[in-house]
Chain A
Amino acid sequence: SQKIEQNSEALNIQEGKTATLTCNYTNYSPAYLQWYRQDPGRGPVFLLLIRENEKEKRKERLKVTFDTTLKQSLFHITASQPADSATYLCAPTDSWGKFQFGAGTQVVVTP
């Protein structure tokens, strides 16, 4: 069965450092991979998408990589700020647009 793994332990990081989150998937052949941010008690917010033929995608302080050989996506938050504290969800998506969400990784940025 399809499986998505994100670090279940919270990532505690100091302000200004780079946070790196991992999304691993098995029994999937995603055409692209989405990343969302979710704050407590709120719905997820779409951040960005990376396609299978793209190695890297950037948006402001966010950087995503996608390695289809390793079946893995890495999500980086550079120069992290306390406002970046949230849970980040990945969603590998097939060519039909069908996807599942990972359980998410909580990021805590301390001043």
Chain B
Amino acid sequence: DGGITQSPKYLFRKEGQNVTLSCEQNLNHDAMYWYRQDPGQGLRLIYYSQIVNDFQKGDIAEGYSVSREKKESFPLTVTSAQKNPTAFYLCASSRQSYGYTFGSGTRLTVV
């Protein structure tokens, strides 16, 4: 079945650590996205990529980094520069500018 796989489902980070969230899709979609969701707030765009080896900052890119070396993969690194990383992170992909397909999310907690 086609879809998006995010791993891990839960992730704990110590202060000062970098962590990487995985996102893989087998939908053959060109565009991929990372969103952050906090309680009571809408999804906020962190980074997006329209094509391999190219990506753009979203609305809240500070403290995050991404890479897009393969069409299927769009990992997100949460760096120690991100001051408030505890959140629910969602990866999405799309063939067109609507109707995104989302993964099941990674819940990151700073301990």
Identify the B interface with A (CB < 8 A). 4, 35, 40-43, 45, 88, 90-92, 96-105, 107
Which residue of chain A has its CB nearest to the CB of B6?
A43
Residues of A within 8 A of B4 (CB): 43
Most buried by B among A4, A43, A45, A96: A43
Q: Which residues from chain A contact B45 at a C-beta distance below 8 Å? A: 100
Asked whether, in the complex, the Cβ of A42 is within 8 Å of the Cβ of B105, the reply is yes
Q: Is the interface of B mostly helix, strand, loop or mixed?
A: loop
Contact of B42 among A4, A34, A93, A97 (CB under 8 A): A4
Q: How far is the CA of A98 from the CA of B48 in the complex (A)?
A: 11
CA distance A59 to B43 in the complex (A): 25
Q: Count residues on chain A whose CB falls below 8 Å from chain B CBs.
A: 22
**A27: interface (CB < 8 Å):** no
Docked Cα-Cα span, A45 to B105, in Å, equals 12
Instruction: Point out residues on A near B: beta carbons under 8 Å.
Output: 4, 8, 32, 34, 41-46, 49, 89, 93, 96-104
Knowing A93-B97, A96-B97, A97-B96, the reply to whether A44 touches B40 (Cβ < 8 A) is: no
Closest to B105 in A: A43
Known: A41-B105, A43-B90, A43-B105. A103 touches B41 (CB 8 A): yes
Residue contact B99 to A34, C-beta cutoff 8 Å? yes
Alpha-carbon gap, A8 to B105, bound state (A): 22
